[in-house]
Structure 1
Amino acid sequence: MKRKWIPGVLAGALMIGLLAGCSSSSDSDKGGSGKGINLRLYTYGTEEAYNWKATIAAYEENHPGITVEVVNLSEKGDTAEASKKLDLAAASSEQMDILMFSDPAGYAQRVSLGMAEPLDAYIAKDNFKEEEDYKVDSHIDGKVYALPGKFNPWYVLLNKDQLDEAGLPVPTDWTWDDFADYAKKLTKGEGANKRYGTYFHGPQGGGWMEYLKLMMLNQPHGADFLKPDGSSNLDDPNFKKTLELRVKMEKEDQSSVPYSDIISQKLSYRTQFFNQSASMIVIGSWMNTEIGGTESVPVNFHVAVAPYPKNNPGDEIGYTSVTTDYVAVSASSKHKQEAYDFVRWYTTEGQVVQGKNIPAWNGVKSEDVTKIIDTILSGTKNPELVDKESLVNTLLISKASELVPPASYQAEIFKAVNEEYEKLILGNQDIDTTVANSQKRAQEIIDSNKK
């Protein structure tokens, strides 16, 4: 029996809901009234992080007769919570026109279920190539089901005051060995008041797996647990080296927050950094909207930014994990052309209007980055506390590793590797056993999903 990416019962419910959504009408659909078309956008993005009101208003002003209704699936911007609610909404035959997915695995999973409409015909009509117009390639099995919104490379946030205290400069080109050395020098105190050099927010329950690919993501190729053909990449030496780095920093140097604390206390990377409990965090640049402080999470220290660390001194700086929003047209939408029109606008001009992130759209040139950053930081409480030069320089040199098209069984791989890591970090098996078990379990999942 082939393994599926979600339990069969839920998959069945979703399929029934999707089929029903294609044939039933919705009370909230204004399309048949002749008074206009209402598009429903399902998103995990909060108003604070995505500036929806101004963004939607700008679109509606130039598209008479179209209204866009934002359906916020998580008030706190929790992507896991939003994903569950999105699946339930699909199963309940709600009117869905535009969908946002937060990661490649979630995008691929819902494409495999038939939730997203192929966009190739619309793109051909618009006469552009997705891989040329955008910095992120969103093809799955040769087809495009979503266009990318933001371009959020991962970087390192630094408490500059604590760096100054330790006599450490803001890095502009460094390795993971340098990072570990910084973390050791920044660690201070003992017990409940201990300040750690760093905090790694994952892995957790098959999510935040970037933290088990630390020394893979800074490579031009081979940055994921799977290869482009769907085969295992867990024999990559950089996977084992990442495990060695994590064990060394937590157990030997005691410079990173213990994994057991992260899980048992449900720690948050924002709290750890902004409460000054950790001096450095490796995180995505969606944090640009927060590093100057917000109403809910103020900041009272200087923040600097460093590029994602390299493995070796001779490596090229800048390769890093990149996150984006995959913005799709719902397969059940009755207004697919109008939904596509919004998706295309939102992922191009709309990103500039939104003013919250660096766009994945190549129409925004590198020389415009400083202006966009000024706009983003102006929306924070204390932009003067941000070392803008270090932020801009880091964003300018950042580039995506080769993006591996996600397999439909990727989430299963993530969960298996996560479970093996937990055995390692909690002291129940060694590194070699962890690598061997991860490889074995991954291969079993791959084999069970072969057609």
Structure 2
Amino acid sequence: MKKMRKLAFLAAMLVGVTGGLMACGNNDGKDVEKNSKELSIAAWAYDTNPEFKATVEAFKKENKGIKIKIVDIAADQYEDKITTMLASGDTTDILAIKDVGSYVNYATKNQLLDLTDTIKGFDQEVMDNYKGNLEGYEMDGKYYAMPFRKDIYMLFYNKKLFDEQNVAYPKDLTWDEYEELAKKLTTEKDGKKVYGTYHHTWYPIAMATAANQTGNSLTEGKYEFAKEYLDRWIRMQDKGYAMDYSSIKTASVTYASQFETEATAMMPMGSFYLGKLMNAVKEGRTNVEWGVTSMPQNEKGEVTTYGGPAGFAVNKGSKNPELAKKFVEFCSGEKGAKAVAEIGMTPAYQSADVMDILYNLEGMPQDEESKKALNPDHNGWEMMPSEDVAELNSMIIEEYDLIMVEDNSVDAGIKALEKRAGEIIK
């Protein structure tokens, strides 16, 4: 009798287990959590760079059931950390690309998936909408990353400070006119000096602008083209129209603090600042009334400026390369571009529909001059990919620093730049 009861109990248990298995199998595909795929993405300072979250959330919305794991790395440690990760065989699927030097480093070590076929498959309309912004990742006809953002350097200005000096808002400026405006707008207000303009410490603001506006390159080893620009930077800080470089470095001054506290009337800066500035105004952290215009030029006419890309690449060690490629293509394409434009940044893909989103954001200046600043005739690069780019970048940083603190004259600094470049360029 006991044996019979035991067999009945076991039979009931078997039926229950079988029923449970059948229930799990018959879920009409609703068990997304169990069957979903996961992508890991390495990015720098994820919480303070909203373009990452914007693209990730847009991709997740479009691709239900995909899990995203963020590998968040401090900005100043990012390149070194990624280099170490890749060397150790790390399988993080997607890598945010911070600068051209590190991109070249990863690509030449065969650590990134080749995305050339994807890009070569684009029709002409798609290529036109990129406005040449894929070129920053081209290496010998191949591409190992795709940009999702492309900055445009422009001139930000404080309308109230212009109004107080009865000066017309800047438009279609030459560099000589820019310098003269900086002189007029340098004043004292409430016992505090207000500078006519602010030149942040990043060397490309002077030197990449010079290279693009004179038809030269920072990677060719000749730097005489930058002399007039560097002379102007030194002259303006010596005359007090711009805060001097040494003070900026010593006090760790930020470009945002200078502009948002109305300590400067003008400031050349990248379009990545648009969204940050709009948010600062919206959240009440500043009451600055601002506008943007094109970067000053050597002569009136066509506008030439520059900007660096930010992109995504697929780690060649990824365990899920096809899904990773899908993510990179999404972020670089129209849907990812719309997500970037919605937060006030300039995407790499710049169709009319995408740019209309940016133009019409709450807080974005609506005048034609602002739109013109976002549509330069030529928007070049800080540096194009080359095997020497990382070493050249480090060298220029060092020599630019010596010039700007006036330990070296501009002429001596250019000679030092060319001598050291000659030792680097292979």
Bucket of the pairwise TM-score, normalised by the shorter protein: 0.7 to 0.9
- Name the amino acid aligned to 1:302: E
Bigger shift: residues 332-341 or 388-397 = 388-397
In 2, Cα distance between the equivalents of 1:190 and 1:420? 35
Q: Which residue matches 2:91? A: 95
TM-aligned CA distance change 1:186 to 1:144, over 3 Å: same
Indicate whether 1:428 and 2:407 are aligned: yes
Indicate whether 1:333 and 2:326 are aligned: no
Deviations 1:391-420 (A, max 9, x none): 223213353137753223223223323333
Q: Which residue matches 1:342? A: 327
In 2, Cα distance between the equivalents of 1:389 and 1:132? 23
Q: Which residue matches 2:117? A: 121
TM-score by length of 1: 0.77
Q: Which residue matches 1:417? A: 396
Q: Which residue matches 2:42? A: 42
Indicate whether 1:107 and 2:103 are aligned: yes
Q: Percent identity?
A: 23
In 2, Cα distance between the equivalents of 1:53 and 1:325? 14
TM-aligned CA distance change 1:278 to 1:110, over 3 Å: farther
What secondary structure, in the 3-state scheme, does the structure 2 residue paired with 1:41 have? strand
In 2, Cα distance between the equivalents of 1:154 and 1:134? 17
In 2, Cα distance between the equivalents of 1:275 and 1:84? 34
Indicate whether 1:323 and 2:308 are aligned: yes
In 1, Cα distance between the equivalents of 2:253 and 2:168? 28
Q: Which residue matches 1:185? A: 184
TM-aligned CA distance change 1:128 to 1:341, over 3 Å: farther
Conserved 8 A contact 1:201-1:211 = no
In 1, Cα distance between the equivalents of 2:321 and 2:367? 41
What secondary structure, in the 3-state scheme, does the structure 1 residue paired with 2:296 have? coil
In 2, Cα distance between the equivalents of 1:318 and 1:411? 28
Q: Which residue matches 1:360? A: 348
Q: Which residue matches 2:19? A: none
1:113-152 paired onto structure 2 within 5 Å: 113-124=109-120, 126-128=121-123, 132=128, 134-135=130-131, 136=133, 137=135, 138-152=137-151
In 1, Cα distance between the equivalents of 2:143 and 2:400? 34
What secondary structure, in the 3-state scheme, does the structure 1 residue paired with 2:210 have? coil
Q: For the pair shown, which has the larger CA radius of gyration, 1 or 2? A: 2
In 1, Cα distance between the equivalents of 2:320 and 2:130? 24
TM-aligned CA distance change 1:61 to 1:193, over 3 Å: closer
Conserved 8 A contact 1:274-1:297 = no
- Name the amino acid aligned to 2:156: L
Deviations 1:100-122 (A, max 9, x none): 11332332233233332211134
Q: Which residue matches 1:304? A: 291
In 2, Cα distance between the equivalents of 1:402 and 1:152? 9
Indicate whether 1:234 and 2:223 are aligned: yes
Give the unaligned 5+ runs of structure 2: 1-32
In 2, Cα distance between the equivalents of 1:272 and 1:322? 21
Indicate whether 1:209 and 2:204 are aligned: yes
In 2, Cα distance between the equivalents of 1:86 and 1:265? 30
Give the CA deviation at 1:62: 3.4
Indicate whether 1:195 and 2:194 are aligned: yes
Q: Which residue matches 2:263? A: 277
- Name the amino acid aligned to 1:317: E
In 2, Cα distance between the equivalents of 1:323 and 1:157? 18
Q: Which residue matches 1:17? A: none
Give the CA deviation at 1:368: 5.0
Give the CA deviation at 1:299: 1.9
In 2, Cα distance between the equivalents of 1:334 and 1:174? 52
Indicate whether 1:444 and 2:410 are aligned: no
TM-aligned CA distance change 1:110 to 1:266, over 3 Å: farther
Indicate whether 1:264 and 2:263 are aligned: no
More helix by percentage: 2
Give the CA deviation at 1:180: 0.9
What secondary structure, in the 3-state scheme, does the structure 2 residue paired with 1:309 have? coil
Q: Which residue matches 1:393? A: 372
TM-aligned CA distance change 1:127 to 1:150, over 3 Å: closer
What secondary structure, in the 3-state scheme, does the structure 2 residue paired with 1:117 have? coil
Give the CA deviation at 1:304: 0.8
In 2, Cα distance between the equivalents of 1:369 and 1:58? 17
Deviations 1:58-106 (A, max 9, x none): 42343345322233324xxx4x343334334435544311111133233
In 2, Cα distance between the equivalents of 1:62 and 1:254? 52
Bigger shift: residues 341-350 or 40-49 = 40-49
What secondary structure, in the 3-state scheme, does the structure 2 residue paired with 1:43 have? strand
Deviations 1:142-178 (A, max 9, x none): 2101111123211011011001112222222111111
What secondary structure, in the 3-state scheme, does the structure 1 residue paired with 2:213 have? coil
Deviations 1:354-389 (A, max 9, x none): 422232225x12x652332323xx3xxxx28x4654
Give the unaligned 5+ runs of structure 1: 1-32
In 1, Cα distance between the equivalents of 2:86 and 2:173? 45
